[in-house]
Each structure stands twice: as structure tokens, then as C-alpha cells.
Structure 1
Amino acid sequence: MNLDKEYENKKIPFIKKLGFSSYQLASVTETMVNTWQMYYYTTFLGISIVLVTLMFTISKIIGAVLTPIYGYISDRLYQTKFGRKFGRRKSMLILGIPLKCILYILMWIPNMPTYMYFIFFILYYIAQPLLTMPQLTFMSEMTQDSEQRAQLVGFNQAAAAVAGIFASLFITWIFKLLGQNNSMSYFVTAAIYDVIALIMLICFYKSVYERPYDQSTIMETEKQQTEEKGWQKISLVFWNFLSCLRLKSYLLYLGLYLSEQMFRSLWGNINTYFIIFVLLLTPNAVAVSTSAGFIFGILFLIFFMWLTAKTNGPFTYRVGDFATIAVCLAIMALAIFRPAHMTLLFIILTVLLNFAKTGVVNSTQFIFTFIPDIDEMVTGKRREGQYSGVNNTLDVIFSTLETLILGFLLQATGFVEKSHVQSQGTVNALLILYTVVPIILAIIGIIISYFFKLTTTNHQIVIDEIARLRSGGSMADVTPKTKKVVEQLTGFKYENCWGNNNVMTYHKKS
């Protein structure tokens, strides 16, 4: 597999960047899951909200447990003939793309026994990490140039916005054609989105490339592989999972990421309920407000790409979080005082909310591309798959717990399935969850951002040091400035970096 020439070219061709963004264009399926699936199951299929949230919880937790295992395996696939032929990451895509597309449509078939939805949900979330895990790695795999990575992040977000616009507008058209109170509207839409996703994922597979086979991608020697027994290999999967949490920059990144991801996930889970039961607007208002937010999101993305390049990720993150707080307060006032032109005002606030979301997402995605480089300074190896797997796992764990708690909270407030009106207790709970909770999470994220020192300048210092050591330089020749930056970002003494630790295997002394 000769990828060296393509990898060494720092400027990624435009067509490759466009193809890379195809993964997000395929996210029309996930937009529908996040916006409509809970509503579809409780309103049209009559499944209780507690049972639905339990279904989501069990399925996602199973997927979360498997994701770091997939990441561990993916990092080591160059040590197999299959991996050297298709790639460490693309091998996973070959398996995941057909499985995801088959299982996705099965979750939307109406009038099946409830246990069938459980089965298909579990299988879907077993297959899904085969795509989500490698997708996160490619922004680091395809180039080490921070400007090119920033552009990949931008293409990623722009495609997600386009997918969101299309997903929202298309289902509005289906509502007009088949009726918004018809379960077949949702099934037909899901089927069409599934076909689109398949085409886009194939384009993604054809466009991405990964780090070539070299010393940094060989995790263990043949002797080490032979000496390790079965139980040791299993234990090393979990050891490597936990080892990611020893990297200082990654822990701080997780604080930023989980903060913004949790309030964005919360909005996704209850957006439809909030609009219909709290603001008393129509289902069409859900689609219109969502699409309007996505349309302006593309313009916001251009601004934040420029801002991140000028100021670094943590500053961009704070801009997004402060905007989140301001818009949540405005939405709270809208729900309490109920002025005239509610739909128009909510659409405007949704647009502004998308400004906030664009900022925090652009920042965290950009920062994540630096994490494998900092880890390489510690281990001397490239573990993009491990960090992607851990990232997805922790994301699923926190978002699943959030969904489970949400379901029980709504049930406790008297939420009634198949009802178009909810009790005042449920309405109040939805208002607090939609506004107050995100404000608290945003404040936490702002505080953490002030402790985060992984800037573009410091990242380049680490990259240069890795290159020096990789070419045979001595650790004894490190400059005081480089040593300080390395220790600040890794959380390790400089002397304990570059594989002089037990981060990847407990057989080594720390």
C-alpha cells in the first residue's frame, strides 16, 4: 500500500476534502434519529418513553463498550495482511458501511413487535462504531499541517450543515405529501435517507487516505505478539483505553467536548417536544427552524474557521459558549412571556443558537486533531484509533446516561405517550432542560478552556520535537522551551516520554 507520496503532500486536493465531507452528508440518517426517532416511537408506535430510553441506553452502551476495542484493533491492522492491503482505517469501513445501511432502515419499519426494535437497535449500534471510529482519525491521518486539518474540520461541519438543511426540508415535503400524522411518512423518509447515506459513504471511502506503514504504526513486534497470551491481549485493550486518560491535554479536551456535546445532545433529544409542548408550535415549525439554523450555520462556519485560525481553539470555544448562554436566556424569556410572532422569533433564536453550536463544535473538532500528535510524543506510536474509540465511548456513555435520565425525568413529571398536550409539570421540566441545564454546562466549559494550553504554536513545537527524535535525535539535546511545552501538554516528565513509560503496556516500568 503506497500512500507515502499522497501523505507527504501537505496540501490535500479539493476533491479529497469534498469527498471527506461526504461522511457528514451521510448524516441525514443521524439527523432523523436525533430529531424524530423518539417522537416516532412514542407517538406512532405507542412505546412508552421509559422503554424507548431504555432501548437507546442498552444499545448505545453495547456500542460504547465495543468502540475502543475497534480502535485498538484498527491501530494494529497494519500487522495483518488484510490491513496492509486495505488500510488500518479503511478496513473497518469495508465492514461497517453495508451493515449500517441495512440495519438503519430496519429500525423504522412500523408495526413490528417491540422486541424487534430492541434487536435492530443493538445490532445497529454494534455496527455504527465501525464508521464513527475511523472517521474521526482521518483528520489527523491525512496530514500533519494544522491549516489543512482546520480546512478538513470546516468541510466536515459545512457538510453536516448541508445534510441538516436537506434532512429538515425533505421531511417537511414528505409531511405535505403523506401527512405529518402518518407513520409511513417517517418510514419513507428513512428509506430515502438510507440510500443517500450509502452513496455518500462510498464517496467517503474512495476519498480518504491514511498514514503510511512505518515505524510509528507498528504497535508491537512479532516477538511481542507471540509472547502475549490471550488474556494479556484482552487486558491490554482496557489498559490502552485507560492510558488515554493519562494524557493531560486529552483530559482537558474531554472536559470541553463533553460539556458542549451534552447540551447539544440534550437539545437534539427534546427539541421536538420543546417546540410542540412548551412553545405550542406545529411539527412543521420543528423542520423549518432546524433548516433555517443549518442554512445560516454555513455562514457562521466561515467566520469560526477564520476566528480559530487567528486566535486558537479555546478562544473560539468561549465565544460559542457565551453565545449559548445568551440565546438560552432569550429562549427562556420567549417561553415564559409568549410574545406575538412566536414562530418567527423562535426561528431567529434557532439561527443564533446555531451560531453558538458552530463555534463550540469547530473548536473541539480542531483541537481533537492535535491529540494523537501529543500522544505520539509520549508513546512514539500513532494511536488515532485508540483516541477515536475512547472519544466515541465516553460520548456514548455520557449522552446515553443523559437520555436515560431524561426519560425518567419526563416520566416522573407525568409525560403521556400518544398525547398532543402534556401536563404543566412536564412543560416546566422541558423548559428547564432546554435552557437552564445548557447554561450550566456552558459555564463549566468556559472555566475549563482557560486551563487549556494546546495552541497551534505549542502543537508545532511538539511536532518538530517528534520529527527530531524520529530522525535519530537525542532526548538529552532537548531545548528548555520544548521540554517545558512537552511536559505542559502531556502531563509527563520529558524523560518519561517517547516510549519511556508503561502507557501502552503494563509490562514496562513507568
Structure 2
Amino acid sequence: MAIPTERRVGYGVAIGYGVTDLFGGGAFAVIGTWLLFFYTTYCGLTVLEAGSIFAIARVIDAVLSPIMGYITDNFGNTWLGRKFGRRRFFLLLGAPLMFLYSLVWVADMNYWYYLGTYLSIELLSAMVLVPWETLAAEMTKRFDERTRLAGVRMMCSALGGFLAVSVPGIIMQFTGKDNALTYTLTGGIFAVIYFIAVLITWACTWEAKDVEEEYHHTTDSNRKSGLMNHLKYLLIDLLSSFKIKAFRQHITIYIFSFTALDVFNSVFTYFVVYALSKDTATVSGLLSIAAFVSIPGTFGFMMLMNKFNMTPSGALRISYSCIFAVLAFLFFVYMSGINVPTVVFSAVFVVLGLARAGLYYIPWNIYSFIPDVDEMVTRQRREGIFAGVMVLMRKSTVALAIMIVGVVLEFSGFVKGMGSQPESALDAIIGLMVFATAILLAVSFWMTFKFKLTQHTHEVLIKEIDRRKQGGQACDCNTETRQVIKDLTGYAYDKVWITKPTDNPLNGAAPAAIR
């Protein structure tokens, strides 16, 4: 059986893979920054109508991603999947559809036009990003190469976010600040960028050869066809992903740390304006500093794990510790009332930007190794399911976090538009930004001590998978490997690499050998 690690992943390939995150990190950054203003200023929509578009899209997106993950995991059974690849086919299909993005930014249309165009972008993002996120795990088994792929993609994501803010500002220099053409041109320019980026990724990436062969020569004899059956199997696969110990730990680290920054970001402006009595230009300046340094920060964390062999857990603890320090500094400034020089504040947000880079990058780097752990249990490659679950959890928790922040501020007596706020509202702002953020981060910090996936344990896992694929017997597995597999999967060695459906600990994910 061919081993899907014959081709090496250098920085050229990593850039080719990562540029699609110009779309992943940029498209919705543009939308988040400008679209509500565009809808209400140039499209004749009320705030309620515009808000309903985002709400409807959020609900639909929450189910699209796991469905897309299930489809790509099983697309290899189709003629198109066998010919074009179960993942990369959707990149080829999605590249020309990127021009739909330009239609979002057309002025003077009706509500249904804007609802339809925005939903088309949500569908397009699920169709492209879910299969694309699985490719890092398919392209290579090497820890350092997957780390490189994840690092470059996160730098491209940060660049996409930077372009989201800067490109419209540049266009405004020529069209003026109060011109709908600014946003129409912005949408067209980004549509071209995203089309080129996705096409480059399609040309530069590949899928695992043994996975392709597996799908060519096996069919699922235990699963029935039909829409309702596929929905049932989708639910079974989604739930079964949480039975993998490393994934449960990883999703805890991912959700709690990302939600911590969601809470911080959502109230930071209020903290600066009402607690520190500074203007919004200060907010923009500090967050711009943090955003800018996140690009070299991502590269720095990538080097920590590649060149210095630091474990993902160790690198995360550095990131979290720096954020704890920043929270302590902000709390001290508020409580003491001292006037901090701008250069000191800037330095603190350089630290925050570097730390934030690690917080965002490392969980997505870890994700690419989770399907290997799952393969040891199920003998399947289910990257799509794990990508779908991660996106589903992330979209759900970010919406929940922002809603909770709004509720807390509302009950604290916060009054929008006032130049000052009551003491109870200031206490709520501080409580959310400092203490809620710190508590959420503390959960992730604690979980890093339990998380056992490292470069060494991953190498042990991959060697054992390759050994079993080549006909190795369970009785020949050494003690260290047995312990590593138990630490990562949560199952004793005799419960993994199953050959009978009745022995499957995941209750529904049939092993590839009998599919």
C-alpha cells in the first residue's frame, strides 16, 4: 500500500495550501467590518432586516459545516470523487464561484437579493473551507510539515484580516468615504483574490494515495442509502468523534480559549471608552498593533515547535501566561487610575498580539493530527467529520458568548450612547473582560497538562498505524506504544484497530477493512 508521505511539504507548497485562508480569514472580516454599514446606508435595509440576514445565515451555517464534512468523507465513493478527489474536487468547483462574493456588495437591491447572496457565501465557505481544512492531514504525516502548513495558513488568515481593513481605506482615497462604489469595488477585488487563491491551493495540494485506493476498492456494505439513513449516519459520526479522548481534550482547549478572546474582544472597546475614558481611535490603534504582530507571532510559535521541539501544550501555556499578564496589567491600570504612556500600552499589545497568535494557531495545528488518532480506532480517514465538528462548535460558541455578554451588560444597567456608565456597568465590563476571560483561559490552561499529543507520541502512533497496515500483529506491539495509544485514544490497545463491527467502540463508524 502506498504511503501518503512520499512528497515533501516545503514552504512553497505550504504557501500554496495556506493562501485559501485569505478567503477564510478575510472574507468574513470584510463582512464583519463593513457589511452592516453597507446594508443600512446604501441598500435601504433597516437594522432589523440586516440583522435578520445574519441571524438566518448563522443558523444555516451551523448545520452546513458538519454536513459538508460528512459529504467529503464519503465523496470518494462517487465517480466524481474517484476522478477528482474527495476533497480537492470542491476546491475546483468553488474557485469560480468566488465571484459570487462580488454580488454581495451591489447597492440598491431588495431584501431577498441580499439574503440570497449572503446565504450563497455561507454555503460557499462551507463547501470550500471544510474540505480544505482536511488537506493538511492528508498531504503529510510528518509533524514538522503539518506544523508548517498550519503556521502558513494562519499567517495568510492574519494577512486576509489586515487586507479587510486596509483595502477599503485605500479605495476610499479615490472614490470618497460616502460612495457605495467603494464597497462594490472592494467586493470585486476580493472576489478575484479569493478565486486565484483557491485555484492555487487546488493546483498545489494533493490527497493521500492510500486513502484514495481505500475508497476505490471498498464499499460500505453496512450502511444503507437514502436521505434519512445518511442523516442518521451523519449524526452517528458527529457524536462518535467525541469518543476519541484526544479530540475531547482538544475541543475543550480550542473552545474555551477562543471563547475567552471572543469575550475579551466584545467588551474591550467599552473598557477603553468608559473605564479608561479614551476614544475609539485608541481602540483601533491598540487592536491594529495586536493584529499586525500576530503574523510574525505565528511564525515564532511555528519555530518553537519545529526547531526547538516544544510540545503544543507547552507552547499554549506560554501563550496563555502572556494573556494572563496582559489581563492583570489592564486590571491594575483600571484599579489604580494611573495614566499609562502610549508607548507602554503599545508594548503591552505587542505582547498580546504575539500571545494571541499562539492561541489561534496551535489548536488548528493540533487539529490536523486528530484524524490519525481516530484512524487507530476506526481504520478510517474522517478528517471531514472533525473539521465539521470544530466549525460547528466554534460558530455556536461565538454566537453564545456575544449573546451572554449582551445580556450581562443589559442587566448591569449599561446604557448605550451615554458618555459615562453607572458603577454597576463598569463592574460588569471589568468582570467580563478580566475575570470571565481569565476563567475560560484557565480551563484551557488546565487541560494542556492532560493533553498527551506531542511530536514524539504522534511519531509512535504513525509507526504503529503503518505497521498494522502492513500486516503486523497486535501481540507484537511494545509497552510504550500501547500506553501512547491508550493516552491518545482513551481505549486499551485491544479495543483499537478493530476488524469486527460489533467490537467497534465508536458504535457506528465501521472500519475501512469491512466497508
Shorter-chain TM-score bucket reads 0.7 to 0.9
Partner Cα distance (2:332, 2:378) in 1:
51
The equivalent of 1:196 in structure 2 is 193
Q: 1:507 to 1:143 in 2, by over 3 A?
A: closer
Deviation at 1:288, TM superposition (A): 4.1
Q: 1:333 to 1:253 in 2, by over 3 A?
A: same
**Structure 1 contact 415–422 (Cα < 8 Å) conserved:** no
State the superposition RMSD in angstroms. 3.6
Partner Cα distance (1:40, 1:234) in 2:
38
Partner Cα distance (1:15, 1:117) in 2:
38
**Structure 1 contact 217–382 (Cα < 8 Å) conserved:** no
**Structure 2 contact 70–234 (Cα < 8 Å) conserved:** yes
The equivalent of 2:153 in structure 1 is 156
Q: Which moved more, 1:287-296 or 1:84-93?
A: 287-296
Q: Which moved more, 1:119-128 or 1:147-156?
A: 119-128
The equivalent of 1:256 in structure 2 is 253
The equivalent of 2:119 in structure 1 is 122
**Structure 2 contact 292–353 (Cα < 8 Å) conserved:** no
Q: TM-score, normalised by structure 2?
A: 0.85
Q: 1:32 to 1:431 in 2, by over 3 A?
A: farther
The equivalent of 2:135 in structure 1 is 138
The equivalent of 2:163 in structure 1 is 166
Q: Which moved more, 1:88-97 or 1:170-179?
A: 170-179
The equivalent of 2:388 in structure 1 is 389
Deviations 1:272-310 (A, max 9, x none): 666666666566555544443233223323331232242
Q: 1:76 to 1:119 in 2, by over 3 A?
A: same
Q: 1:63 to 1:8 in 2, by over 3 A?
A: same
Partner residue of 1:505 out of 464, 484, 508: 508
Partner Cα distance (2:47, 2:411) in 1:
11
The equivalent of 2:358 in structure 1 is 359
> In the alignment, residue 253 of structure 1 is paired with which amino acid?
H
Deviation at 1:40, TM superposition (A): 6.2
> In the alignment, residue 349 of structure 2 is paired with which amino acid?
T
- For the residue of structure 1 that corresponds to 2:221, the secondary structure is helix
User: Superposition pairs for residues 28-427 of structure 1, below 5 Å?
Assistant: 28-37=26-35, 55-102=53-100, 104-109=101-106, 117-174=114-171, 185-186=182-183, 188-214=185-211, 217-218=214-215, 221-222=218-219, 224=221, 227-228=224-225, 230-267=227-264, 269=266, 285=282, 287-309=284-306, 310-334=309-333, 340=339, 344-409=343-408, 423-424=421-422
- For the residue of structure 2 that corresponds to 1:76, the secondary structure is helix
> In the alignment, residue 76 of structure 2 is paired with which amino acid?
Y
> In the alignment, residue 229 of structure 2 is paired with which amino acid?
Q
Deviation at 1:125, TM superposition (A): 2.1
**Structure 1 contact 105–194 (Cα < 8 Å) conserved:** yes
Q: Is the aligned partner of 1:16 residue 2:13?
A: yes
The equivalent of 2:489 in structure 1 is 490
Partner Cα distance (1:43, 1:442) in 2:
38
Partner Cα distance (1:60, 1:24) in 2:
20
> In the alignment, residue 75 of structure 2 is paired with which amino acid?
L
The equivalent of 2:479 in structure 1 is 480
Deviation at 1:69, TM superposition (A): 1.6
Aligned residues: 504
> In the alignment, residue 158 of structure 2 is paired with which amino acid?
A
Gaps of 5+ in 2: none
Partner Cα distance (1:373, 1:416) in 2:
50
Deviation at 1:249, TM superposition (A): 0.4
Q: 1:223 to 1:351 in 2, by over 3 A?
A: closer
Q: Which moved more, 1:60-69 or 1:270-279?
A: 270-279
- For the residue of structure 2 that corresponds to 1:9, the secondary structure is coil
- For the residue of structure 1 that corresponds to 2:380, the secondary structure is coil
Deviation at 1:258, TM superposition (A): 0.5
Q: 1:303 to 1:226 in 2, by over 3 A?
A: closer
**Structure 2 contact 39–45 (Cα < 8 Å) conserved:** yes
Q: TM-score, normalised by structure 1?
A: 0.85
Deviation at 1:388, TM superposition (A): 0.8
Q: 1:91 to 1:506 in 2, by over 3 A?
A: closer
Deviations 1:6-58 (A, max 9, x none): x4335214321111121123332232234455566689889787876664344
Q: Which moved more, 1:65-74 or 1:207-216?
A: 207-216
Partner Cα distance (1:269, 1:192) in 2:
29
The equivalent of 1:460 in structure 2 is 459
**Structure 2 contact 162–291 (Cα < 8 Å) conserved:** yes
Partner Cα distance (2:43, 2:271) in 1:
20
**Structure 2 contact 85–212 (Cα < 8 Å) conserved:** no
Q: Which moved more, 1:379-388 or 1:247-256?
A: 379-388
Partner Cα distance (2:281, 2:174) in 1:
13
Q: 1:185 to 1:426 in 2, by over 3 A?
A: farther
- For the residue of structure 2 that corresponds to 1:453, the secondary structure is coil
Q: Which moved more, 1:342-351 or 1:199-208?
A: 342-351
Q: 1:331 to 1:141 in 2, by over 3 A?
A: same
Deviations 1:389-424 (A, max 9, x none): 11111111111222333444556667788x596755
Identity over the aligned pairs, expressed in percent?
26
Partner Cα distance (1:333, 1:137) in 2:
43
